[in-house]
Amino acid sequence: GAGVSQSPSNKVTEKGKDVELRCDPISGHTALYWYRQSLGQGLEFLIYFQGNSAPDKSGLPSDRFSAERTGGSVSTLTIQRTQQEDSAVYLCASSDGGFFVGGYTFGSGTRLTVV
């Protein structure tokens, strides 16, 4: 697609429920990144995909968080047994992963609220 698409844009869930966040990167972008941003804070790195593999998943905060990418395209970030501290905006970005001059293109984010 023309840009990075994230869905849903907003998600309100009850504590303890599982949620899935979706990211559809720019067509042809081989690298995909997930970040979390709490209100008024900077970017917290979660995980990075090159193709379908994740060379760096060091930022996942706990084993309740997992992510996958299929077909070198769409990625899903899953949070199990959500907690209130999981409330944040989850940002996805993609890049061409190769010569990488252009940097990242970000999606509009998913605002997750755990009540």
Partner 1 sequence: ELKVEQNPLFLSMQEGKNYTIYCNYSTTSDRLYWYRQDPGKSLESLFVLLSNGAVKQEGRLMASLDTKARLSTLHITAAVHDLSATYFCAVNLRMDSNYQLIWGAGTKLIIKP
Q: What size, in residues, is the chain?
A: 115
Of 7 and 50, CB closest to partner 1: 50
Question: Nearest-CA neighbor of 113 among 50, 28, 25, 39?
Answer: 39
Tokens 């997930």 label which residue? 34
Does position 59 interact with partner 1 (CB under 8 A)? The reply is no
Q: Name the 3-class secondary structure at 106.
A: strand
Q: Please select the residue that binds partner 1; options are 75, 95, 112, 114, rule is CB under 8 A.
A: 95
Q: Please select the residue that binds partner 1; options are 48, 60, 69, 73, rule is CB under 8 A.
A: 48
* CB distance 29 to 12 below 8 Å: no
Tokens 């605002």 label which residue? 111
Q: Segment near partner 1 (CB under 8 A), from 13-21, 68-76, 78-86, 96-104?
A: 96-104
Rg, C-alpha atoms of the chain = 13
Q: How far is the CB of 67 from partner 1 (least distance, A)?
A: 15
Q: Please select the residue that binds partner 1; options are 43, 61, 62, 115, rule is CB under 8 A.
A: 43
- Contact residues for partner 1, defined by CB under 8 A: 31, 33, 40, 42-43, 45, 48, 50, 55-56, 91, 93, 95, 97, 100-109
